[in-house]
Amino acid sequence: MAKVRNWQLGRDMEYPYVADRPAKQFTMIMDTNKCIACQSCTIACKSTWTWGKGQEFMLWNNIETKPYGFYPTGWDVNVLELLGEQEWDGDDVYTGQTVFEAAPAGERVLGWAPAEEDWSHPNIGEDEPTGSADETTYIPDKPHSLMWMYYLQRICNHCTYPACVAACPREAIYKRPEDGIVLVDQTRCRGYQECLTACPYKKTMFNLETRVSEKCIGCYPKLEQGLQTQCTTACIGRLRLTNYLSAPDEVDPRKPADFLVHVRMIALPLYPQLGLEPNVYYIPPVHVPTKYLTQMFGPGVERAVEMYRNAKDDPELLGLLMLFGSTERIWHTWDVSDGVARAYDEDGEEVVAVPLREPTFTRPFEFATEVAGEPVTGFRHNT
Partner 1 sequence: MAQAKITRKDALLYGGAAAGGFVVGGAAVTAVAVAVENEKAPVAGAPIVARYVDGDLPETDPGSDAWGDAQPTLVALAAQQIAQPFLEETLVTELDVRALHNGSSVALLLEWDDDSVDDLDGIRRYHDAVAVQLPTAPGAAPVLTMGAPGIPVHILQWRATWQRDIDSGGKTGVDQIYPEVIHDVMPDDVLPPRTAQLYWVAREAGNPLAQVRRTTPVEEVVAEGFGSVTHLPKQTASGHGVNEDGRWRVVVAVPSARTGVGAPLEPGSSWPAAFAVWLGSEENRGGRKHIANWQTLVLEAKA
Nearest in space to 278 (alpha carbons), one of 50, 30, 54, 31: 30
CB of 47 to partner 1, least distance (A): 10
Q: Are 351 and 343 in contact (CB under 8 A)?
A: yes
Q: Which of 276, 322, 341, 351 binds ligand SF4 (CB under 6 A)?
A: 276
CB of 164 to partner 1, least distance (A): 13
Give residues with Cβ within 8 angstroms of 178, minimum separation 6: 22, 23, 24
Cα-Cα-Cα-Cα dihedral of 221, 151, 76, 118, to 10°?
A: -80
The yes or no reply on residue 201 touching ligand SF4 (CB under 6 A) is yes
Q: Which of 36, 113, 139, 147 binds ligand SF4 (CB under 6 A)?
A: 36
Q: What is the full DSSP assignment across 315-342?
A: HHHHHHHHHTTS-SB---EEEEETTEEE
Query: Nearer to partner 1 by C-beta: 171 or 350?
Result: 171
SS3 132: coil
- Which entry of ligand SF4, partner 1, none binds 339, CB below 5 to 8 A by partner kind? none
Query: Nearer to ligand SF4 by C-beta: 19 or 38?
Result: 38
The yes or no reply on residue 218 touching ligand SF4 (CB under 6 A) is no
Contact residues for partner 1, defined by CB under 8 A: 51-57, 105-108, 113-116, 119, 167, 169-171, 186-194, 196, 206-212, 214
Query: Per CB under 6 A, which of residues 311..370 are in contact with ligand SF4?
Result: none
- Which entry of ligand SF4, partner 1, none binds 39, CB below 5 to 8 A by partner kind? ligand SF4
CB of 4 to ligand SF4, least distance (A): 14
State the pairing for strand pair 93-94/88-89.
antiparallel
* Partners of 127 in beta bridges: none
Query: Per CB under 6 A, which of residues 130..169 are in contact with ligand SF4?
Result: 151, 153, 156-159, 162-164
Distance set, CA 155 to CA 29, 173, 242, 357 (Å): 11, 17, 12, 31
Beta strands across the sheet bearing 280-283: 240-245, 25-31, 280-283, 268-269
- Which entry of ligand SF4, partner 1, none binds 10, CB below 5 to 8 A by partner kind? none
The yes or no reply on residue 203 touching ligand SF4 (CB under 6 A) is yes
SS3 47: helix
- The footprint of ligand SF4 (CB under 6 A) covers 35-41, 63, 151, 153, 156-159, 162-164, 182, 199, 201, 203-204, 215, 234-237, 239, 276
